[in-house]
Amino acid sequence: MAADGGDGMTADVAVLGVGMHPWGKWGRSFVEYGTAAARAALADAGLDWPDVDSVVGADTVRGGYPGYVAGATFAKALGWQGARVASVYAACASGAQAIATARAQILAGLADVVLVVGADAAPKGFFRPAGGDRPDDPDWLRFRLLGATNPTYFGLYARRRIAVHGDTPEDFALVKVKNAALGALNPYARYRKRVTAEEVAASAVVADPLRLLDICATSDGGAALLLCSLDFARRHGAARPVRIRAVSTVTPRFPNTVLDLPDIATDSAVAVPAPDETFRASIARTAYEEAGIGPEDLSLAEVYDLSTALELQWYEDLGLCGEGEGAKLLREGATAPGGRIPVNTSGGLASFGEAVPAQAIAQVCEVTWQLREVAGDRQVAGARVGITANQGLFGHGSSVVAVR
Amino acid sequence: MTRTRTPAVSDWFTGEGDGFRLLGTRCTSCASVFFPREDSHCRNPHCAGGALEEVPLSRTGRIWSYTDSRYRPPSPYVSNPELPWEPYALIAVELQSERIVVLGQTVPGVTVADLTVGMEVEVVPGVLDEDAETTWTTWQWRPTGVTA
């Protein structure tokens, strides 16, 4: 059965609308950011809110109870209209899980039009665990026993790259320079100033070897998608919509031998040998297999640059280059605008700061604008295939492939 | 007044001085080792699951990677807000015979400038923090041969 007119793919859903609330530190409720993004996505799709069959909210753990039931919170704020609802949480991968849930409903025929929304209002300073004494919670334990903030894990990964691959702090700084220049062109980014390598090098060390400008901030923001079946898109007059062709939400395989947030130790590989590929590499491979493409088919990639060094890691995990060649790929300009495979044309987390449940959705917004060729000064010429990738703590993979 | 010495986390380590060890558990069926300890069921998906027995982990290992904390971490980490923040290093250590990487703080006085990936370190008892009645103890990593 060819649901979209002949190419044989039956697992696509259409991205009919996208919307974002600008990232920043606005000091307001996540509900406000999420509903603003939802309204923008509805307007972009040319749909009215009562047309929506289902709402999937990506949860925030920072908004109290309304944050845990984000789907219903947004539905109520937009005005109860009877849509079915779901709320999902997967840390940084929450947005991708929301997209996966929406897609499953559409492909199962349970809904024609699904609104996906994620939004967060971030505190000042480091993320911290939920309150109370909870010695059975690894996230609580890593703070209590080690004071191991998220940036310390980023520091461990960065130092490991320096030791194993010969990356330098100057390589890391070049990631920030690239992403800041792109963020300067993005009206939704929080940081819109270009940054020099000298400015990165002059910023304070947070978690050796990473400096303040190597590490993403935490932000307020909201992002939304209007997803629908290809039939609905056609009936709605969208002849050639951007289509989501794969959503990877895989988990690690035992033994997971790369120290992962928020864990204090890896799995032991003494009884079972470590898998041939790392968890992060499996996230992308699964997306490629589902979409029937490979890294050579990509026009662009949006990856989770929690730190500058992690962006280089993603180059390798996405197969854009061989292991240990991420810095070389960057230095060649392959991942910059005009390069072979531009990465983080949105400006990335370096320019946005992380609004956890919104971020994986925002990645798809950027890919959608690129595939529609409406990304303005950030546009990748002739963009046809885009991928997003991220990883949520506690073992959540997230990758979306979109095509046009 | 003497403070009581109490582990900051129960049953993760034992002993004093050279006898100090991290404590994990091992599946009696497949021999997978777990730290932090797994007491209910083996997490190897290919194992039907045997009894889990407590095992001391290797005393020494090699640095997989390291970093430090230049800013005061938030609670539940305990530090005195009235004192200037003193950065400390964190080391991820690979234990060869268990094929596991375990994170820990370094002993006081060791900084990232003293460390390299691959360096041998040993586990030693340390103090996490103190309150009026209790000295909360923990494990720390120390480059081997350093006695300070």
Flag if A208 and B70 touch (Cβ within 8 Å). Answer: yes
The count of CB pairs under 8 A between chains A and B is 148
Q: What is the pLDDT of residue A86?
A: 98
Query: Is the model's pLDDT at A7 over the cut of 80?
Result: no
The number of folded domains in chain A is 2
Confidence of residue A158 (pLDDT cuts 50, 70, 90): very high
Q: How far apart are CA A353 and CA A8, in angstroms?
A: 39
Note whether A56 and A196 are same-domain residues. Answer: no
A23 belongs to a structural domain: yes
Q: What integer is the mean pLDDT of B76-105?
A: 96
A76 belongs to a structural domain: yes
Residue A196's contacts (CB-CB under 8 Å, 6 or more residues apart) are A177
Three-class DSSP labels, A21-37:
EEEECCCCCHHHHHHHH
Answer for the pair A57, A88: CB distance below 8 angstroms, yes or no. Answer: yes
Please name the member of B76, B117, B128 whose beta carbon is closest to the beta carbon of A160: B117
Note whether A176 and A94 are same-domain residues. Answer: no
φ and ψ of A370, to 5 deg: -65, -45
Note whether A268 and A320 are same-domain residues. Answer: yes
Note whether A169 and A310 are same-domain residues. Answer: yes
Note whether A66 and A173 are same-domain residues. Answer: no
Element (H, E) at A17: strand A13-24
The parent domain of residue A309 ranges over 138-217+244-403
A42 belongs to a structural domain: yes
Single out the residue in A207, A241, A275 at which a domain terminates.
A241
Note whether A234 and A157 are same-domain residues. Answer: no
A7 belongs to a structural domain: no
Note whether A113 and A161 are same-domain residues. Answer: no
Q: What is the pLDDT of residue A136?
A: 87
Q: What is the pLDDT of residue A130?
A: 78
Q: To the nearest 10°, report the CA torsion of A206, A211, A214, A219.
A: 40
Query: Is the model's pLDDT at B58 over the cut of 50?
Result: yes
Note whether A172 and A286 are same-domain residues. Answer: yes
Note whether A99 and A179 are same-domain residues. Answer: no
Q: What integer is the mean pLDDT of A201-220?
A: 98
* Low-confidence winner among A120-129, A207-216, B10-19, B104-113 (lowest mean pLDDT): A120-129
The alpha-carbon gap from A152 to the nearest alpha carbon of chain B, in Å, equals 6
Q: What integer is the mean pLDDT of A208-236?
A: 97
Single out the residue in A189, A207, A241 at which a domain terminates.
A241
Please name the member of B10, B31, B78 whose beta carbon is closest to the beta carbon of A270: B31
Q: What integer is the mean pLDDT of B37-63?
A: 96
A97 belongs to a structural domain: yes
Q: How far apart are CA B126 and CA B134, in angstroms?
A: 14
Q: How far apart are CA B85 and CA B102, in angstroms?
A: 25
Note whether A203 and A315 are same-domain residues. Answer: yes
Note whether A90 and A202 are same-domain residues. Answer: no
Q: What integer is the mean pLDDT of A167-181?
A: 98
A2 belongs to a structural domain: no
Q: What is the pLDDT of residue B148?
A: 52
Q: What integer is the mean pLDDT of A310-331?
A: 98
Residue A93's contacts (CB-CB under 8 Å, 6 or more residues apart) are A249, A360, A390, A391, A392, A396, A397, A398
The alpha-carbon gap from A252 to the nearest alpha carbon of chain B, in Å, equals 12
Cβ neighbours of A163 in B, within 8 Å? 65, 116-118
Among A282, A302, A262, which residue's Cα sits nearest to residue A387? A302
CATH number of the domain that A38 lies in? 3.40.47.10
Cβ neighbours of A138 in B, within 8 Å? 36
Q: What integer is the mean pLDDT of A350-371?
A: 98
Flag if A144 and B117 touch (Cβ within 8 Å). Answer: no
Query: Is the model's pLDDT at A258 over the cut of 80?
Result: yes
Query: Which of B43, B52, B69 is best to mutate for the A interface (most A CBs within 10 A)?
Result: B69
Flag if A146 and B104 touch (Cβ within 8 Å). Answer: yes
Please name the member of B35, B43, B66 whose beta carbon is closest to the beta carbon of A254: B43
Cβ neighbours of A147 in B, within 8 Å? 69, 73, 77, 79, 88, 105
Note whether A25 and A109 are same-domain residues. Answer: yes
Single out the residue in A209, A241, A273 at which a domain terminates.
A241
Flag if B102 and A265 touch (Cβ within 8 Å). Answer: yes
Q: What is the pLDDT of residue A1?
A: 35
